[in-house]
Amino acid sequence: MKITLPTKRPYFKRIPRCLIYDFIRFNDYRVLFYLLLQQHMMSNSWEDNCVIFMDYSRALSHINICPDRHKNANLEHFRHFVEELIQSNDLVLDEATTIKQPTLYVNKASDFFYPHEQFAILYDFEINYILSQSKDMLSNGVQRWKLLLVLAYLRLNINVRYGTAYNTKQNRKEYPETYHQYFRNIADDLNLHKTAISKCIEALTEMGIIAYKHTKIFTNYNKTIAGRTIFANQYKYDLQQKGYLDSSYDFKKEIKECEMKLQGKDNKGLSTDTEDDMELPFD
C-alpha cells in the first residue's frame, strides 16, 4: 500500500548530516531515537525552552517496539544516545531527574536540533507512515529504523533545485534532482550491509517515496558491468513558496536527465533497453 500525500504544506523534521553519517559516535538506531526525542518536545513558542519528558519504554512501546532491558539492547542504546547529546551540550539534564527517566532541556544554540545547513528533510506524514508499519506489512522483513536511516541519507544527498523556474527543462538538464551511487558505498557510509540497503530501497519504492534505476556500463571488451544506481524522490513539495505539492515535478524526467549526464561523464553507453535495467515504478 502506497503512502497518501497531503496536498497542503506538510510539517517536517530536519535531520542533521552528522547524525546520518557518524555511526561511530552514535548507534544504529540514531535517526529513530532522534525522531522520538523530537516527538516528545514540548514548547509554547520558539523563545521558550523546549522540554523533553523522556520515558524510553513508553516511547518505544508507542511505536510497537518492545522495550528490551537486557544489556546492549534498545533501552540501553536509547539512554546512551541521550547521554551522548548531554555530553555535547545539545541537551541539558534537569538536576532533579536521572538519565533513566530524565527531564531534558534542548539547547537553543544547538545545531544538532536546529540545523541551518547540511540536513535532510523527512516529512511528518512519511515518519508516521513508516513507524505505523508492522513487521507483516514491511517487505522482506526490513526494520523501520533502517528505513528511516536510509531515507534520511537519500534525502540529504538528492539534489534540490530552488528558484521560480526550477522545473524548466534547461534547469532539469543542468541540475537534475537525483543522486547516483553504488549500493556498497551507501552501505559503507551507513555501516549497514549491502543487502539491507537493497531491501530498504525496495521498500521505500513500494511505499511510493523513493524511485530508483540501476544502470549498466559497456566495457571495451563488449561486456556489461553494474553501474551506479540513480535515486530520486517520487514527489516534491515546494517549501520555498507555499509548500504545496508540486504538480509540475516528474521524477521520471529527473532520472532520465541524470542518466544522460552519466552517459556523457563516463563516455560509455549506459544500457536502457533491458527489462532487468528498469527498476522504476513506471506506468
Average pLDDT over residues 272-282: 39
Average pLDDT over residues 182-210: 96
Q: For 213-245, write each residue's pLDDT tens digit.
A: 998 765 556 666 668 899 999 999 987 767 889
Average pLDDT over residues 110-123: 95
Any idea how long the chain is?
A: 283
Q: For 13-25, write each residue's pLDDT tens digit.
A: 999 999 999 999 9
How wide is the angle at C-alpha 86 spanned by C-alphas 80 and 91, nearest 5°? 120
* Grid cell locating 42: 514540548
Which contiguous run of DSSP H or E holds residue 103?
A: strand 103-106
Q: For 42-90, write each residue's pLDDT tens digit.
A: 865 555 678 999 999 999 999 989 998 888 889 999 999 999 999 999 9
Q: For 135-189, write each residue's pLDDT tens digit.
A: 777 878 899 999 999 999 999 999 988 765 566 778 888 899 999 999 999 999 9
Is 246 a residue whose pLDDT tops 90? no
Predicted confidence band of residue 275 (pLDDT cuts 50, 70, 90): very low
Question: Can you give the pTM of this predicted structure?
Answer: 0.88
Task: Return the exposure string of 137-170: e unless at least 16 CB atoms fall within 10 Å of the residue's CB, then b.
Answer: ebeeebbbbbbbbbbbbbbbbbeebeeeebbeee
What is the amino acid identity at position 156? L
Alpha carbon distances (Å) from 116 to 14, 113, 210:
9, 10, 24
Task: Give pLDDT, residue 44.
Answer: 52
